[in-house]
Structure 1
Amino acid sequence: MNLFRWLLAALLAANGLAMLAAPREWYDSIPGVVSTGSFNPHFVRDIGCAYLVAGCGMAWRALDAQRGMAAALAGAAFLILHAFVHIGEVIAGVCGTSALWRDAPGVLVPAGLALVLALPSFTLRRPIHAA
């Protein structure tokens, strides 16, 4: 599980850093972003900050599972809400259902993974029976 936390943390942080360092290039290179409205570097950087924080929260969870859980859950909450915005736009007719397939690898899947990897790990244990 921890390897997946580190990988997701790296991907989220890298995306956030790219949005902060090169917002125009990020805007132009991510499929579907141009169709959401005109370029606003401040807006791209704001969302980049949220991705960077989500990545740092997941990294903290990977580094210290107990103390980092709340930070990872907060980052996952942003990602889940962001995914709901994308789903809501399809439901409202802002964009077609093809947008979900386009957005799945970069928005929907990372949100689901972040939630699963942020939650406590439960293990099945055999019950102890008193003799």
Structure 2
Amino acid sequence: MALLGIAMFVNGIIMLYDPEFWYYAVPTVPATGPFNQHFLRDIGLIYVMIGAGYVTGIFFPAQRIWLWAAATAWLGLHGFFHLWEIGAGICGADTILKNGHAVYLPAVVGLVGIAIDVRERRAMKTA
């Protein structure tokens, strides 16, 4: 979860610091519409918050489930939005493979981290 949090945080910092670089560095992004610095920085702030939530949850176990659930919910909804774009014909189905590591995998990792945390909490209660 630390790696996921750091990756999300760094992605957000790049989006904030140099949104044009980020826009052109991600091959599937230009196909979704013209460069919009304001929009990319807005999303960059979200990624910074998501990363901070994952990392903060590591150090504050009592709040972990809520921090990780909120971050994972956004990542999951983001993934569903990308699937909707494919269904609506905005993007081709090939974007699933192209975006998988950056769009779908983080949500899956978040879900797995939450599941492990819940399992460990239950095990501690029964021990």
TM over 0.5: yes
Between the aligned partners of 1:114 and 1:10, the Cα distance in structure 2 is 13
State the distance in 2 between where 1:69 and 1:35 align. 36
Counterpart of 1:122 in structure 2 is: 119
Partner of 1:51: 47
Separation in structure 1 between the aligned mates of residue 6 and residue 51 of structure 2, nearest angstrom: 6
The question of whether the paired residues in 1 share the 8 Å contact of 2:15 and 2:44 is answered with yes
SS in 1 for 2:62: coil
In the other structure, the counterpart of 2:91 is: 95
- What residue number does 2:58 align with? 62
Distance 1:59 1:69 in 2: 12
Per the TM alignment, residue 77 of structure 1 is displaced from its structure 2 partner at its CA by: 1.0
Look up the SS of the partner of 2:10 in the other structure. helix
- What letter matches 2:101 in structure 1? P
Q: Which amino acid aligns with 1:51?
A: Y
- Aligned residue pair count: 122
Gaps of 5+ in 2: none
TM-score by length of 2: 0.88
1:36 Cα deviation after fit: 0.6
For each residue in 1:39-79, what CA deviation from the matched residue of structure 2 results, as whole angstroms up to 9, or x when unmatched?
A: 00000001111111110110011112222321221111111
Instruction: Give the Cα separation in 2 of the matches to 1:90 and 1:82.
Output: 13
Q: Which runs of 5+ in 1 are unaligned?
A: none
- C-alpha distance in 2 between matches for 1:32 and 1:68: 33
1:104 paired residue number: 100
Q: TM-score, normalised by structure 1?
A: 0.86
Q: Distance in 2 between the 1:55 and 1:118 partners?
A: 15
Instruction: Give the fraction of aligned pairs with identical amino acids, expressed as a percent.
Output: 34
CA contact (8 A) 2:32 2:91 kept: no
Query: Is the contact between residue 61 and residue 69 of structure 1 (CA under 8 Å) also seen in structure 2?
Result: yes
Once superposed, which parts of structure 1, at least 4 consecutive aligned residues long, lie more than 4 Å away?
none
